[in-house]
Chains A and B, each alone.
Chain A
């Protein structure tokens, strides 16, 4: 879009700088994956390809438990958040009503407050009402974190929806429910799938909220990894981290194919 006509010193420099920064962005990820497959682990020179670290990592009880907790948490949070967000998106796209802008701002509110404060507030509140230290503690936190993303993606996919298809069904004599089940939902499927996946992966990777809400029985994988690498820094942890990265990468590629990563990620999760 910004034209470059003839190669100039400036452009060459720009290109070099850009690739240096891109390298800076991907080097840490590449290093981790490299170590996880290297039979001498962190030691250089590399000695050969191995799956030993993965075998060890997936055999460790703490990581297996972490994977289970994170998986359940991601799936449950994606389901609940989308169930809550879908009607909101529907109302935002299809109805004009008083307080629409306020509603929009309100459902985005978990993103507007610093993660530290959301984590602290939920921790204090949930312990206080007797919901501390359980699966639901984390679940509530994660649902709050992903609701804004679900609303945004569902809103985007609803607003490109062709309403005349529904009208045609209605005119052909289908009832409201029938139209919804046979016309609306199938067309919206990709949007809903993309939203579910984004919610899952944000929950799966979440660190900032989880560290406030995790308990010794319910420790999601990122927190498990964090406490592991505080004491032990080995190629096994590189293998766990790489597994997490692979799952994220697959999801990213699918989301990009289905919905376009840029439309989906106009807000970022906390740090």
Chain B
């Protein structure tokens, strides 16, 4: 047992003195963390358990809840091909595509930043991370200015003669994709930077000295070394994109019913709380299943790369 605690300054602890000390430490730790733990238990864990309970309720006449232990809500969602195709499958497709696009766009930025040094690097890092703290509504607003039918993008493409009439980007799928990718980039760049810092620079120098091209260095050194660490980031981003609701709510339409948005609409617009609860549990289950499958596949792929 490592002894780092405040109580250990005297040092004389053999095994005999250690047990009561350990108990004392656990007691103090429990005492001072109790308020936070209690608050989280009441306002985080209890509400989440309550969601699970409510998902087994009956709904009568549209929205009235009736305490019960039935699977109505689950069978209603899973038994409806429309939900499976236009909600679950759509969410999976959107999450996969947007996550992949984010990773592809984040790599060049991360490589560029990792090559910069000193103040330049500091500034680049701050610039890239700041969208994470600027707030969803502000970023969405900017994109609405660009994407709406009389907006900058349409004005530009029409002026250049690419299109004759305004294209509908906003309140449609393209806007949802753009914003998911846009918000994902800072997050993936950050994950990648953490990983780049662990690559031995001698490996890259060796590759460069041996005459490898940039692309070759990327493919044979950077990519294999950063992929395992990137995986953690990809998993989180996939889960975030899969359950996104604010973005499709703000810039999507009736055709961009991602599963998170369906949860929101059922609860807040249609008032069907048990159904919303059941869908949110299905959402977590699907997302967890996909993440497990993905990890398994990646594991296989690594073993295959290693020739095992």
Contacts and interface: CB of A to CB of B under 8 A. Distances in A.
A30 B134 CA distance: 12
A95 B6 contact: yes
B33 A265 contact: no
Contact of A2 (B4, B105, B199): B199
B46 A31 contact: no
B204 A245 contact: no
B264 A116 contact: yes
A205 B133 contact: yes
Contacts of B152: 31
A21 interface: yes
Interface in A136-176: 140, 143-144, 147, 167
Interface stretch (A48-56, A57-65, A117-125, A185-193): A117-125
A95 B29 contact: yes
Interface bracket on A: 35 or more
B112 to A, nearest CB: 4
Given A90-B32, A113-B48, A248 B4 contact: no
Interface in B239-274: 239-241, 243-247, 249-250, 260, 263-264, 267-268, 273
A150 to B, nearest CB: 9
A125 B47 contact: yes
Nearest to B32: A87
B289 interface: no
Interface bracket on B: 35 or more
Nearest to A166: B6
B99 to A, nearest CB: 13
Given A11-B214, A113-B48, A140-B43, A211 B28 contact: no
A188 B141 CA distance: 38
A3 to B, nearest CB: 6
A128 B50 contact: yes
A28 B142 contact: yes
B9 interface: yes
Given A229-B144, A265-B132, A271 B33 contact: no
Contacts of A207: 135-137, 246
B267 A123 contact: yes
Which among A3, A30, A126, A249 has the greatest number of chain B C-beta atoms within 10 A?
A3
A78 interface: no
A249 B5 CA distance: 39
Contact of B134 (A97, A106, A110, A249): A249
Interface string B260-297: 10011001100001001100100110010000000000
A96 B183 CA distance: 38
A5 B264 CA distance: 52
B125 interface: yes
The 8 residue pairs across chains A and B that have the minimum distance between CB atoms:
A28-B142, A205-B135, A10-B214, A125-B47, A121-B47, A114-B243, A87-B32, A97-B26
Interface of B: 1-6, 9, 22, 25-26, 28-30, 32-33, 35-37, 39-40, 43-48, 50-51, 54, 105, 108-109, 111-112, 114-115, 122, 125-139, 141-146, 148, 152, 155, 180, 182-183, 185-187, 190, 193, 196-197, 199, 201, 204-205, 208, 213-215, 222, 239-241, 243-247, 249-250, 260, 263-264, 267-268, 273, 276-277, 280, 283-284, 287
Interface of A: 1-5, 8, 10-11, 14-15, 17-18, 21-22, 24-32, 35, 42, 44, 84-85, 87-88, 90-91, 94-100, 103, 106-107, 109-110, 113-126, 128, 140, 143-144, 147, 167, 198, 201-202, 204-208, 211-212, 222, 225-226, 229, 233, 237-238, 241, 244-245, 248-249, 251-253, 255-256, 261-262, 265-266, 268-271
24 contacts: A1-B115, A1-B199, A2-B114, A2-B196, A2-B199, A25-B185, A27-B142, A28-B146, A28-B182, A84-B36, A96-B4, A113-B48, A114-B284, A114-B287, A115-B246, A116-B283, A117-B280, A123-B268, A124-B277, A143-B39, A201-B133, A204-B135, A222-B135, A252-B134
